[in-house]
Structure 1
């Protein structure tokens, strides 16, 4: 009766249990096994602890197990039966490692040296700041303003003068603080009455948030 119980327990014992038990009975350390079989200690521990997911994928898992079993004089005739035994979790782990062809995801960005990643981040930040600088400068810069007539200061005996010029679109033009209509092409004109003596005519162009661009024309009336 006792021999039957021992035999049943032995059959139900997993290969991992047998590897661990045999090695300890023979008084061999994992380092000694690793040195003899040229197998990493971590893989030996994984085989003894039924952690087959830690073994290399493919046929290496089965080869490592068989090599270790032969080294400890474990009968390999029933090797496949032991692998396909009653321990379902053991079987699933082994099959997952033997037949898995999943390619590990490669996070290439994480593989880049830290200094290169920092340089890339700095360049991105600098590019953004440069773009932001140009954008803000474009908003606050004074708009272009060209006075067609009079092109410069002049002397006249007329009582009126036609001020004409060109500016950018969406710009407000003020002549002597009076708002002047600007057409879709940026052209504007306004008839100004003159008084005897020196007349100062201020032409100002400004966008919504920009600085002012002001031109002064001096008109002397005789």
Structure 2
């Protein structure tokens, strides 16, 4: 359906966006992954429940991103939104006129002073509550002191150290980690040869707000064994599996030899390569934006009824694979 037809047929901006999303075969969860808009905000927009946004500016920003993602005319969608909400300028004008009329009848008295102090006290309480709500809604801050992103180490085991807001719950590679009363943490992790992805996630208690930091650490295995004189080294095929993302960001879960290497949103253009001995598996939110290679040969990714794709491969005869 053309954009003009949709805008004519619909009444509210939420109905226009919801109708277009369904015609494109997109789910709320898929839109959230692609646009980085939380699912609850998408639901608020489609339900025309704009009062749940902290500010009309936030609502307009999300609507603009959503309309662009659905390939709708952003200006026309925003115009439809403005027509569907009250005119704040008219409200402010009426309020100012009312205040002027009331001001003419006000005289300073002890009772008025007491009322003023009561109002100031109430405003102070409301301000404190508002600040606490603001703190509650803000995602926690994560500071990773070591290791550094992109660092190469020769030790099999390293310590992940840093700090986070003290009222947070912390996970390192999906494992819950204890933090000190000051918010400091120290967690030892064993590395696999090659590139290792370490994901640090923090959530505030009783809140959906979360922060994620991802660092890459390369474990360079030291060569501690020398080939004995006059002894031929046994050659063994080294197999590699490579993951690439193109066109758009995509959520992936990638396991190599039953070890989870990735479980996150990967930005377009990023490349991850690992050595593999026995088997590997991949689940991707957008199969057309994900490329998988075994020893530099591309492997087709099986796609289900939606854009989600998955594949599991086992290595046979040292360098052959059997995928399903």
Coarse TM-score class (shorter-chain normalised): 0.3 to 0.5
Q: Counting strand residues as a fraction of each chain, which structure ranks higher?
A: 2
Structure having the higher Rg: 1
Kindly indicate whether structure 1 or structure 2 has the higher relative contact order, using CA contacts under 8 Å at least 6 residues apart: 1
TM-score (norm 1): 0.41
